[in-house]
Amino acid sequence: MKWIYNNYEFENRINNLSWTISGKYNENINASEQDYTSKDVALYFAIMTGARHKYIEWNIVKKYLYNRIKQGYDSYTILGLVQVVLNIIVEDRVIQERPGIKDIRKRAYKDMLDGFTKVYKDDAIQKIKYVVVLEGMGKHPSVDGLSRRILNCIREIDINLPIIEILKEIDSIYTKFFEGKVVKDQDSKENSIEYKNDTDIDFDTFSDFMYEELYEDEPSEMVESEISNMSSSMLIESIGEVDIDISKNTKERVLYVDENTLNKIYNKMEHYYGKSYLNKNELKKIETKNCRNLHEGCRIHFTDGVLRSECSNIAQIKYVTRQKENNISKFRDKAKIHKRNIIKLKDSLSRILIEESETSRVYSDCGTIHANRAWRATKSSNNKIFYKDIENEKGRYVIDILLDGSGSQSRNQANVATQAYIIANALTMVGIPNRVMGFSSFMDYTILKRFKDYEDKIEKTENIFEYFCAGNNRDGLAIKSTCDGLLNRNEENKILIVLSDGKPNDIKIGKDRERSIRGEMSYRGMIGIKDTANEVRRARQQNILVLGVFTGKENDLEAQRLIYGRDFVYTKDIERFSDIVSMYLKKIIRN
């Protein structure tokens, strides 16, 4: 059962505690906006919030991560490593100054661990996080040799070093233990990681990356989002999941909405994603219908993106333009193959549709007489001299393709855009109305980016190359909102195809004074999986055929089965996306 703040004095106390720890009384630090399981957890969160403001120069960390991910570092690994190291350094520094905090940490960690139904220990980074938490509780867990060696190197970092020197140490650990783990070109097949034994980092000029990035465009939204998570949550939150009874908790939650703040947040959304193509009344109607229960307090932003909508954010326009050019460039590298696949898919679908639309003639003992068979009436025992022409009753088709646009798909974005382009072109050529949308989450919003609408001409399919990945993903709300568009169509056969990594994950961080909505529940783990599964079932009950195409890790397959049942396909090779969709459509049309 989640503990709800109802004591103004306590809220005031933890906010003052954060300011006292940080020493920065002029900054917006509001630690009381985060609901936690106990007062000890809330106190420790307040302490860590203040300490992170005091000890970490997040702008430098942001520039470092942007530079390294841009160079090809594996984002999951380097982000996890930075999170662990900075957490240890902040904790050690604040405990040196205030030793009594150590006991609060121990109790807070125990309270949170007791609430987990599952602890993540699937890879080196997750194991390291888990060991760090147990050691913070005074325990001495056994761990494999590699993880222990990495932890020893982390512990050897001098916590009093300047942030640039700490980042240099992190870089050294990354290249030593992860063998210069670098993401390969996006056209690579199953193994999207290559390993390099040496790197070209000049540690004597290590801090030069900062000056280089200061004069470049703003860091990607994925880095912004990860830094926000890192600076506004505790390490222990990322090591497990809690199975919450949604029905009980939604009754306890209270929303605080301020019209002026809502307008500020909406303006920020337009700044990053472009103006919505729906007016405010239409949006309000959709949000009132869909943003309920688990999604209460969330909002939805329908946009055509910054390149085709009104947008004043020059940096974002440049970023999306560059990503579009990169996606098109990757397509052109294999243009002949891709164009051949478009024609192949188009021809295949055309043949099936022609076959299925043909009139079937059935002979019977009543109906329209067939002159050439009339002689059988007296000369043969086969008296079926009449016929009936049976028309195709399957009806027309309409298809929505929904692409996961969260940061977890960033290494695949050129290939995803290409495959969606192939499918949309082929469907448009054979006359099947189709829409292509991407979904991700930013702040309280689920963003649905429309790349191609149902009736758009084939030239508009090139807009799909504007696809880029950043932020989190609230799959259930995205599917629910997309289905609204399908249900408004007149076609008899409605199909929704969802490409996703199978891990709904939309964590709300309550740190900004501008935030007006409190108490949103975490949307990850079993909570997100169950909600997405419910929305898929609801869509099927409304006669929408839903196919899930899974591109994540094998150990997440069970989650995908829970969400999509039998109608899902697992592929390690994203370039097979169009083939998978082709086979599925053939099966649907023929049956």
Q: How confident is the model at residue 374 (pLDDT cuts 50, 70, 90)?
A: low
Tell me what pLDDT residue 424 has. Answer: 93
Residue 128 near residue 108, CB atoms below 8 Å: no
Q: How confident is the model at residue 370 (pLDDT cuts 50, 70, 90)?
A: low
Tell me the residue type at 338.
Answer: H
- Over residues 126-183, the pLDDT tens digits come to 889 889 989 888 888 888 888 899 999 999 999 889 999 999 999 999 988 886 555 4
Tell me the mean pLDDT in the region 14-29. Answer: 66
Q: Count each helix (H run) and each strand (E run) in the chain, helices first.
A: 21, 14
Assess whether pLDDT exceeds 50 at residue 73: yes
Helix (H) or strand (E) holding 368: strand 368-369
- Over residues 233-276, the pLDDT tens digits come to 778 777 876 554 444 444 444 444 456 666 777 778 888 899 99
411 CB-near residues (< 8 Å, 6+ apart): 75, 183, 186, 192
Q: 1 or 235, which is more confident?
A: 235
Instruction: Return the SS3 of 398.
Output: strand
Global confidence as pTM: 0.60
The residues facing 302 across adjacent strands are: 448
Tell me what pLDDT residue 45 has. Answer: 85
Q: How confident is the model at residue 3 (pLDDT cuts 50, 70, 90)?
A: very low
Q: How confident is the model at residue 525 (pLDDT cuts 50, 70, 90)?
A: confident
Tell me what pLDDT residue 153 has. Answer: 93
Share of the chain above pLDDT 90, in %: 24
Assess whether pLDDT exceeds 70 at residue 78: yes
- Over residues 510-520, the pLDDT tens digits come to 434 333 343 34
Assess whether pLDDT exceeds 60 at residue 33: no
Share of the chain above pLDDT 70, in %: 72
Assess whether pLDDT exceeds 90 at residue 467: yes
Residue 191 near residue 173, CB atoms below 8 Å: no
Tell me what pLDDT residue 536 has. Answer: 92
| Lowest-confidence segment of 57-66, 83-92, 331-340, 356-365 by average pLDDT | 356-365
Tell me what pLDDT residue 574 has. Answer: 76
Q: 497 or 585, which is more confident?
A: 497
Annotate 89-139 with three-state secondary structure: HHHHHHHHHCCCHHHHHHHHHHHHHHHCCEECCCCHHHHHHHHHHHHHCCC
Tell me the residue type at 86.
Answer: L
What mean pLDDT, rounded, does the chain reach?
A: 77
- Over residues 296-324, the pLDDT tens digits come to 878 899 999 999 998 888 988 998 999 99
- Over residues 413-465, the pLDDT tens digits come to 898 899 899 999 999 998 999 999 999 988 778 999 999 999 999 999 999 99
Assess whether pLDDT exceeds 60 at residue 229: yes
Q: 503 or 488, which is more confident?
A: 488
